Chains A and B, each alone.
Chain A
Amino acid sequence: MATRNRTVIYRKHRDAVKSVRAPLSSSASGSGGPVIEMASLLNSNRSSYAPLSTEDPGPSSRDAFTVGLPPAWVDDSEEVAANIQRARVKMAELTKAHAKALMPSFGDGKEDQRLIEALTLEITDILRRSGKRLQKLSSSGSAEDSNVRKNVQRSLATDLQNLSMDLRRKQSTYLKRLQKQKEGPEGVDLEMNFSGNKSRLEDDEFDDMSLNEHQMHKLKKSEQFTVEREREINQVMQSVNELAQIMKDLSVLVIDQGTIVDRIDYNIQTVAVSVEEGLKQLQKAERTQKKGGMVRCATVLVIMCFVLLVLLILKEILL
């Protein structure tokens, strides 16, 4: 695709104009002084970045344009973005830990389990905290600023949701593989043993004591495994549930791709419409408030009526 860069011509002309303007401005600098002072007074009134910004770039400054400081919520959003990045790094570690745990090893595997647990908890925690913080991004300032804030929220929410889904998918594959592994060698044995056990107990209970003992030992062992496996599964399930909760909260913020909400022109229209709607709501609220005065009066009068009625009845009773 063809493009053409006109910046060079533009800069040349801009510099040419500047050099023409410069000698003129040096003669006018005397009168420029008081103008600049007035301008800075005006600026201090209209700043929306109150506590943070100490310098206000006035439109009358002739020097290089200084970049003003962004509003407070940008810091929050940047923190959330940093958290997401950290969570990504931890996810990579988790993948490695999963792979290691699934490999056949000589040891107990308990350390691996603990590492996996710790990592999973950490990641879930980061995601949950980021989700909550995202929802609470404070809004102040103009409509445009709140639009920017809303869009930043949406973008971070999409990232968070993708991470959560990723984590869940990793966990469920790990879980499935874990189940397959644990069931594999023991499952067949268990089945045979149980069916064999039952038939024998029915027929001849006290025959073959030795076999029974052997079977009891195997039973205990398989019980242990079952308990452990149940614990692991429960843990994973718990984190799955938590993530589901996070996803539900975030889904309000995330845009569905391919729908009308994902269209740029629709979003531009809605801004205009929502400003109008806001105005209507304000007017309605004003009206209701006025009416509210009436409602209050009427309520007071009704209460007074009741009170007087009660007094009347009391008077009749006591007299």
Chain B
Amino acid sequence: MVLVSAVRDYINRMLQDISGMKVLILDSHTVSIVSVAYSQSELLQKEVFLVELVDSISKSNESMSHLKAVFFLRPTSENIQHLRRQLASPRFGEYHLFFSNLLKDTQIHILADSDEQEVVQQVQEFYADFVAIDTYHFTLNVPSNHIYMLPAVVDPSNLQHFCDRVVDGIAAIFLALKRRPIIRYQRTSDIAKRIAQETAKLMYQQESGLFDFRRTEISPLLLVVDRRDDPVTPLLNQWTYQAMVHELIGIQDNKVDLRNIGKLPQDQQEVVLSSEQDAFFKANMYENFGDIGMNIKQLVDEFQQIAKSNQNIQTIEDMAKFVDNYPEYRKMQGNVSKHVTLVTEMSKIVEERKLMLVSQTEQDLACNGGQVTAFEAVTNLLNNERISDIDRLRLVMLYALRYEKESPVQLMQLFNKLASQSPKYKPGLVQFLLKQAGVDKRTGDLYGNRDLLNIARNMARGLKGIENVYTQHQPLLFQTMESISKGRLKDVDYPFVGNHFQQGRPQEVVIFIVGGTTYEESRSVALQNASNSGIRFILGGSVVLNSKRFLKDLEEAQRIARSSPAVV
């Protein structure tokens, strides 16, 4: 509840001191921030009877002066312009302005200038500037995420915007938690270094008064890493519930859009998958597909029993009991049909795309050795006509990432085959990926074959046998978290910013992955937190990736890199 409750507290504080009928005005980013943490019915309880976007507010001239306006916006220049227009011709009785991050003095002056009617009652900074999708997982929904893959010279202003947004998000996290961290970053990534340094400057120099919290014995740790250090995790197909839904269908701000999927009843076209509100989902979000099937069957059986007893109404007492339990019954019915719809749809997709076959090879490529067998397997799948283009692309990428240096001839063969079979394939994409995230660029030991200890561990795992061949893969993040827990994160790979230093193990760690996180990694974090090791990990990223999104970012970056003269 850590992140979600921080946002909820902020919103509660915004609304509690203002009495009477209110209208809440948000912008396109704060809508996501508020929607994942607060529900419409809770807003109604706080007497907020209208929610609007700031750009549509100015379109109408109607005066609603019996309402008090509560604005919750990001302090961007567009929002300040919208506010200026609003304040010049106010529509509401009172104006209470809340900003999700630091305001510049010039912005305050602009607002004060246009407030001729003196309708503004308060201007506050409430640092809820991140989307708290799970208890320990947040995202920033940064548009144009792909820009992190390009060198700074290509598009410096957009890259600066990206960095500013990320630094704002990270600062908001620490302000909400009231901590000031020691910062470390991944050595081989320029953008991670840049973000780490800008965050340090903000926290320790520019706004050091604001961040000057009560010091705990051991400062928390902020670790900024790059997505390209672990390009394998976003490419893999997933088999645990939450990750699988995102991979096959797509989750945005804890909502799943099922409108493209055949004919569904009105209330099932868009559904909410939130661990806060759905007990079944909370219990099953990290379970694998087989177990979910069984648990859903159990849920359906329970529900059918209740439904049958509801049909069997004979005495008036039965009727009274039915009416008593009707709201619960209806809620359960909605929940059951939601999960059944999702699982049915995913089973269909798995069957169509032959994902069981593909995923077996993917997991082998990610976890086990044997170049020759891998090459054979990938070639066979490429020749199989039933496999979709995106799956073929992923297989070749996974093979290339692992066996980049071994047998380049065979690698070229695979590239050619891919290009010839997939008409939509943008040529050179795999090579672009290797340039971005190849073995020379990576710091971490992705395949466990650099470190003697890791090799031994892999061999031990192979001997022990694998429980489930589809969920063998552990993201690199898991190893990073283990190293941090043992206090053995190497300085040479993950240096400290400036003259920070930390002795011993931190108790709170925020890991930020520039380029995006995946639900497999958030699962890893949640399981690590549940194991009571004494350290609390929080994971965040610029977006939440699935393989489609990751490939799109790669394609966009490749397109820009090609058309830019600055890139070699």
Contacts and interface: CB of A to CB of B under 8 A. Distances in A.
Contacts of A7: 121-124
B21 interface: yes
A196 to B, nearest CB: 29
Contact of A265 (B32, B56, B60, B111): B32
Interface stretch (A117-125, A139-147, A291-299): A139-147
A19 to B, nearest CB: 12
Interface in B437-455: none
Counting chain A residues whose Cβ lies within 8 A of the other chain, the interface size class is: 35 or more
Residues of B contacting A: mostly: mixed
Interface residues of B, number: 84
A59 interface: yes
Interface string B327-364: 10011001100000000000000000000000000000
26 contacts: A5-B122, A6-B123, A13-B109, A18-B118, A57-B63, A65-B90, A69-B66, A70-B66, A148-B21, A148-B64, A154-B44, A155-B41, A165-B327, A237-B320, A251-B326, A257-B39, A257-B41, A258-B278, A258-B334, A259-B271, A260-B255, A262-B40, A264-B34, A264-B51, A265-B255, A268-B26
Given A17-B113, A256-B334, A169 B324 contact: yes
Nearest to A155: B44
Interface string A236-274: 010010011001000100011111111111111000100
Contacts of A9: 105, 108
A262 B39 contact: yes
Interface string B56-96: 10001111111100000000000000000000011001000
B88 to A, nearest CB: 8
B344 to A, nearest CB: 18
A6 B103 contact: yes
A6 B111 CA distance: 12
A155 B45 contact: yes
A240 B321 CA distance: 10
Contacts of A218: none
A148 B50 contact: yes
B494 interface: no
B118 A64 contact: yes
B127 A2 contact: yes
A109 interface: no
Contacts, number: 202
Interface in A28-69: 46, 48, 57, 59, 61-62, 64-65, 67-69
Nearest to A255: B41
B25 to A, nearest CB: 11
A268 B175 contact: no
A255 B112 CA distance: 40
Contacts of A57: 63, 65
A272 B111 CA distance: 28
A161 B124 CA distance: 37
**What 3 A-B pairs come out closest when comparing CB atoms?**
A70-B66, A155-B44, A13-B112
Interface in A150-202: 151-152, 154-155, 158, 165, 168-169, 172
B38 interface: yes
A144 B52 contact: yes
B117 interface: yes
A151 B47 CA distance: 9
Contacts of B270: 260, 266
A284 interface: no
Nearest to A9: B108
Interface string A293-319: 000000000000000000000000000
B435 interface: no
Contacts of A2: 127, 175-176, 178, 210, 213
A11 B35 CA distance: 31
Contacts of A243: 323
Contacts of A65: 65, 90, 93, 117-119
A210 interface: no
B118 A264 contact: no
Nearest to A237: B316
A13 B13 CA distance: 25
B115 interface: yes
Interface in A191-250: 237, 240, 243-244, 247
Given A1-B178, A65-B117, A158-B44, A256 B330 contact: yes
Nearest to A4: B125
B493 interface: no
Nearest to A147: B50
A191 to B, nearest CB: 21
A1 B40 contact: no
B126 interface: yes
Nearest to A150: B49
Contacts of A48: 62
B320 A172 contact: yes
A74 B66 contact: yes
B277 A1 contact: no
B253 interface: yes
A18 to B, nearest CB: 8
A68 B94 CA distance: 12
B324 A165 contact: yes
Contacts of A257: 39, 41, 277, 331
B53 interface: yes
A3 interface: yes
A14 interface: yes
A106 interface: no
A67 B93 contact: yes
Contacts of B277: 257-258
Contact of A10 (B48, B102, B108, B126): B108
B6 interface: yes
